[in-house]
C-alpha cells in the first residue's frame, strides 16, 4: 500500500518490453531479472508479462478518467455536442458535492 509522501519509479514502455523479452527468452526468473534490472519487486515484472500476454497496453495509465474523478488526467476541451459538455461539467459538480458536502450550502444540523 502506498504511504503518504512515497515516490514511485516510472519505467518507459521500451524498458518494460526489454524486461518482458528477457523473461520470455528464458534469460532469468522473475526474481533474478527484477534484481538485475533494479526493480523494487518481481511482481512488477510479473504484471508486465501478464499484460503483454493479454494484449493490454504497457504504457502508464495514471491520470485516466476511468478513476471516477473528473479532475484526474488532462482536462477535456473539445466536446461532440453541447450536451456532452454539459454532462462533463455536471459530473465535476456532482463529484465536488460528494467530496465537500458543506461547501454548497447543505449543512446538516446536529441535534443535541
Residue 79 burial (CB count, 10 A)? 13
- The series of mean pLDDT values per 10 residues for the chain, 112 residues long, is 75 89 92 91 91 81 52 68 88 84 63 57
Query: According to the model, what pLDDT value does residue 43 have?
Result: 92
Query: According to the model, what pLDDT value does residue 76 have?
Result: 63
CA 74, CA 70: separation in Å to the nearest integer? 10
Residue 45 burial (CB count, 10 A)? 22
CA 36, CA 1: separation in Å to the nearest integer? 24
Amino acid at each position: 500500500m502506498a504511504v503518504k509522501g512515497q515516490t514511485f519509479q516510472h519505467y518507459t514502455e521500451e524498458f518494460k518490453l526489454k524486461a518482458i523479452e528477457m523473461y520470455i527468452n528464458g534469460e532469468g526468473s522473475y526474481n533474478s531479472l527484477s534484481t538485475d534490472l533494479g526493480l523494487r519487486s518481481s511482481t512488477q515484472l510479473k504484471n508486465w508479462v501478464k499484460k503483454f500476454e493479454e494484449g493490454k497496453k504497457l504504457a502508464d495509465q495514471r491520470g485516466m478518467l476511468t478513476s471516477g474523478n473528473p479532475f484526474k488526467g488532462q482536462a477535456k476541451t473539445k466536446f461532440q455536442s453541447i450536451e456532452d459538455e454539459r454532462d462533463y461539467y455536471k459530473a465535476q459538480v456532482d463529484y465536488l458535492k460528494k467530496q465537500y458536502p458543506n461547501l454548497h450550502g447543505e449543512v446538516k444540523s446536529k441535534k443535541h
